[in-house]
Amino acid sequence: MDGTGYTEKQQSILLAATCTGSIINPLLSTMMNLSLVSIGDEFGVGSRFLALVNTVFFLASVVCMVPLARWASISGLKKVFRLGTALIAVAALAAAFSPSFWFLLAMRFVMGAASAAVVSTAVTMIIEVFPIHRRGWAVGMNTMVAYLGLALGPVIGGTLSDLIGWRAMLGVIAPFALFSLAMSAHFPAEIRLTPGERMDYKGTALWCAAILLSMSGLVGITDIWGLPVLVLGLLVLFIACRYLLRTPQPVLQVAMFKGKLFRRSCIATFLNYGGTYSVSFFLALYLQSIGELSATAAGFILLIQPLIQSLLTPRFGALFDRIRDRRILPTLGMAVFCLGLLQFQFLTVTYSLAQVVLILVTLGVATGIFAAPNTTTVLTAVPHEYQGESSGTLAVVRQAGIMFSMALAMACIAVIMGSADNLNPATWDEFVDVIHLDYAIAFALCLVGTVLSWARGNQSSADR
């Protein structure tokens, strides 16, 4: 025992369970990208409907994050984690036998909701079970596995799709889920942060409606209906927050945002994802058009960033455990993000692999420095009983940043090019202008994030 009430063996069992569960979400979100054409051919649907395969997954995930985190705090983190993991496996196997496109979408929705149960509980359990001097390292290990999932998803999905077919890749999820369930079954304790409290169903309905409308509006921001839906979503979100501040046991403790450390750390997270998530989207187009590389070659080059992230994240997580000033690493990470985003201004229609590699290396290093320390800071910046909800909130902030990043990318394309479908040598100059505009805005976002990271408050590791 090390003061947490758990032995090192029990901590290792939990880490194995959560890491295995945490690789499922990024695999599910990226594996099917290279199979959309095959799915469209089989079911006879076009690109507009195919976009729903990922959109439905992300929307279900982000809408369910906070309510599931709250439910887990009341009924048990392990219980909700295991339920989500099992449901993912069942939905993935059912999707592999989809009789229609709409059945596949329904299963993707279930997978997204179930993944929210896993994501909103995994890191919270790590924070609860690991002692202060190993907490950053453990969070780093979990984050590393998630980045590995992002890196390997397209490779696994593309290979299986080419060799066997798109349905085969969904079967890959089951072994990960079964191993995670087996390991978590050997973890002896249930973790309840707010036992005996009630679930706030009215607040849940308001929150889910607000997030669904807001995120849908962001996704469709370049369509005529996108902005009105986004505005309506923000209005409902305002109403929801007013309600949550008044109710005694809300689905989300909005009062958490009154804390400067928590609030600014969340904003830094949003700005980070909002500024950088579209990198792989733009560079994939750049490499395959201006660089004239195959999709496979471009995919292997894009692996550079997540592989570096995977190597560095646990190291900087462990370093964070030893540094008293928790501002240093997140702020340094954000500053390196700024450096990486600034390099996009030097991309031209004259293809340079060295420039692309340098950008990916810089952003990989930045993520390795920023991710685990910032996550640990957010989850330990609130009272113990709110840590489950803070985990769900952080996941929502990340997803909102991801959707904002892609909405910004689509808006820049719409303003300068109209559409990326007409990408050819005649429009390469315009495409480079799109990249310059998008990452000038992204640079400004991350610069603000750097300032906020330093101004979040000097709470030392001793206070964790």
pLDDT band at 391 (very low <50, low <70, confident <90, very high): confident
Q: Do 357 and 235 sit in the same domain of this protein?
A: no
Q: Do 413 and 289 sit in the same domain of this protein?
A: yes
Q: Do 264 and 322 sit in the same domain of this protein?
A: yes
Distance separating alpha carbons of residues 280 and 282, to the nearest angstrom: 6
pLDDT at 433: 93
Residue type, 345: Q
Q: Do 378 and 436 sit in the same domain of this protein?
A: yes
Distance separating alpha carbons of residues 27 and 339, to the nearest angstrom: 29
Cα 417 to its chain centre, rounded Å, is: 28
pLDDT at 313: 87
Scanning the structure block, which residue is given the tokens 């979408």? 105
CB 276 within 8 A of CB 405: yes
First to last CA, the chain: 19
**Is the residue at 227 inside a domain?**
yes
pLDDT in tens, 358-377: 999 999 999 999 988 888 88
Asked whether the predicted pLDDT for residue 167 surpasses 80, the reply is yes
Domain end residue (candidates: 250, 274, 291): 250
Taken in order 124, 128, 129, 133, the sign of the CA dihedral is positive
Q: Do 189 and 229 sit in the same domain of this protein?
A: no
Q: Do 357 and 216 sit in the same domain of this protein?
A: no
Q: Do 226 and 190 sit in the same domain of this protein?
A: no
The residue range of the domain holding 45 is 1-194
Query: What angle, 0 to 180 degrees and rounded to 10, lies between the N-to-C axes of helices 101-129 and 387-416?
Result: 130
pLDDT at 420: 63
**Is the residue at 461 inside a domain?**
no
The fraction of the chain above a pLDDT of 90, given in percent, is: 36
Asked whether the predicted pLDDT for residue 127 surpasses 90, the reply is no
**Is the residue at 347 inside a domain?**
yes
pLDDT at 324: 80
**Is the residue at 334 inside a domain?**
yes
**Secondary element (H or E) of residue 110:** helix 101-129
Average pLDDT, integer, range 435-451: 93
CATH number of 296's domain: 1.20.1250.20
For the chain, what is the domain count?
Answer: 3
**Is the residue at 462 inside a domain?**
no
Distance separating alpha carbons of residues 217 and 221, to the nearest angstrom: 6
Tokens of 182: 């087996």
pLDDT at 314: 86
Q: Do 151 and 220 sit in the same domain of this protein?
A: no
Q: Is the pTM of this model over 0.75?
A: yes
Q: Do 23 and 85 sit in the same domain of this protein?
A: yes
Average pLDDT, integer, range 109-125: 91
Distance separating alpha carbons of residues 325 and 276, to the nearest angstrom: 26
DSSP 223: S
Q: Do 85 and 215 sit in the same domain of this protein?
A: no
58-62, 136-140, 163-167, 250-254, range with the lowest pLDDT: 163-167
Scanning the structure block, which residue is given the tokens 């990452």? 439
pLDDT in tens, 15-41: 999 999 988 888 887 777 667 767 888
Closest among 270, 269, 268, 238 to 254, alpha carbons compared: 238
Asked whether the predicted pLDDT for residue 228 surpasses 90, the reply is yes
Q: Do 213 and 304 sit in the same domain of this protein?
A: no
